[in-house]
Amino acid sequence: MAIRNIRTENDEILGKKSKEVEVIDEKVKELIKDMIDTMHKFDGVGLAAVQVGVLKRIVVIDLYDEKPILKLINPVIVKTKGEQEVEEGCLSFPNKYVKVKRPAEVTVEALDENGKQIKVTGTELLAQALSHEIDHLNGIVLTDVMIPGSMEYVEPESIKTRKKDKKKK
């Protein structure tokens, strides 16, 4: 397991579409472990493989609740419902936050790390995270979907305070 470098906003790989995973081998499983370690190191809620420079359709999501970390291979959104306007950040856009419109509920079909077909339905933050990470797999980044004029830069020392305030809501 290792911490990988996160590709940031001007890296052209972020605009590329990721390729389907055809074989789930030890290399893919190691990538997933590295992605989880990297996401946790930088206090992220989700991470797509492209964000660590790998053009594979893999995402990990951790809402830091009692539920297990989601490890999704070849995820596809099969159903959406409703709409929510949310504030969103991204590990590839450090210290920047924007407002976006996301579905209020999302259903995703994917494979788990053992190749088993799974279906995940999420609302609120999970719906937001699923939508955000799957956007990454399609070469879509935060600035592509933000509500114009909503970007805000937050000084690094105030980010921890901001996260604590969000958790209170």
Residue-wise pLDDT tens digits, 109-125 = 999 999 999 999 999 99
Residue 106 phi, psi (nearest 5): -135, 135
- Better-scored residue on pLDDT, 157 or 126: 126
- Supply the pTM of this predicted model: 0.91
Q: Is residue 3 part of a domain?
A: no
The CATH number of whichever domain residue 154 belongs to comes to 3.90.45.10
Q: Is residue 5 part of a domain?
A: no
Q: Is residue 57 part of a domain?
A: yes
| For range 66-75, the mean pLDDT | 96
Which pLDDT value is given to residue 155?
85
Q: What is the pLDDT of residues 20-69, one digit of tens each?
A: 999 999 999 999 999 999 999 999 999 999 999 999 999 999 999 989 99
Q: Is residue 7 part of a domain?
A: no
Q: List residues with catalytic annotation.
A: 133
Q: What is the span of the domain harbouring residue 83?
A: 12-168
Q: Count of domains in the chain?
A: 1
Q: Taking 60 as the threshold, does the pLDDT of residue 164 lie above it?
A: no
